[in-house]
Amino acid sequence: MSDPTLLIVDDEPAIRRLLRTTLTSQSWRIVEAGSGENALRVASETHPDLVLLDLGLPDRDGITVLRQLRETRPTLPVVILSVRDDEQGKVAALEAGADDYVTKPFSMAELVARLRNALRHALQQEGTTPLFISGDLRVDLVKRQIFRSETELRLSPREWDIVRMLVRYAGRVLTHKTIMSTLWGPNGDVQQLRVYIRQIRQKLEQDPERPRHIITETGIGYRLVQHEADA
């Protein structure tokens, strides 16, 4: 299982430490930033699954950071965590693209629930159900688990990114360029992508030389086929 990555953006080290300790035990992988500029850099480098963003940052307003995150990743779920409890502030954050708003001080149980809900909602907005089933393959995008029959498969973070993208667009052909630009940016290497696809097939397919799930569209890219669930 690969834990979802959460980027915590808060200028208070004590808050980040509390969140890191608690959320790590809740199966989140944590990355951190203490300023807006650092948050944008960390987000670009780590490709988090969700962002927990404080509005009161030392170098720029949190809503500005939110909008900048949205420019590069429009569907990235962002939950605001702030001491500001005024309705106008919440509306401004939500209109800027925030998925939810949690006010300090907060209940950790409520925060965890809201983070999970934001992740599910983002997946549903993309037209993808969090649980994908095809033949003997089962992929849970929220829990980041993948099974072939009853055996849980272990994927590297990059392999998981590719599988997740294929699942989100199951049935559609994804070009090499689309996959590479999304996951690697403008410097993607098609040969590197082919290597990862080969590795993934070794794990997912019963016969990697005759793949049933991830189909090559020659000269174009790849398509994830959805089969009826095995009886």
Which phi-psi region, left, alpha or beta, contains residue 57 (left: φ > 0; alpha: ψ -120 to 50)? beta
Residues with Cβ within 8 Å of 119's Cβ and at least 6 positions away in sequence, in order, are 4, 49, 50, 77, 142
Nearest by Cα to 26 from 144, 140, 121: 144
Q: What is the pLDDT of residue 137?
A: 93
pTM for this model (two decimals) = 0.63
Start and end residues for every CATH 1.10.10.10 domain found in the chain: 131-224
CA angle 200, 41, 160 (to 5 degrees): 10
* CATH 3.40.50.2300 domain extents, the chain: 5-125
Report pLDDT for 1: 47
Backbone angles phi, psi at 153, to 5 degrees: -95, 145
Calpha distance 179→188 (Å, rounded): 9
Instruction: For 87-145, write each residue's pLDDT tens digit.
Output: 677 778 877 878 888 888 888 988 998 898 888 777 666 666 688 898 999 999 888 89
pLDDT tens sequence for the chain (231 residues): 467 899 999 999 999 999 999 999 888 999 999 999 999 999 999 999 999 999 989 999 999 999 999 888 888 889 998 887 766 777 788 778 788 888 888 889 889 988 988 887 776 666 666 888 989 999 998 888 999 998 999 999 899 999 999 988 887 788 888 899 888 887 778 999 999 999 999 999 999 999 999 999 888 889 898 887 665
What pLDDT score was predicted for residue 53? 96
CATH number corresponding to 131-224 = 1.10.10.10
Q: Which CATH number does the domain 5-125 belong to among 3.30.2310.20, 3.30.1640.10, 1.10.287.110, 3.40.50.2300?
A: 3.40.50.2300
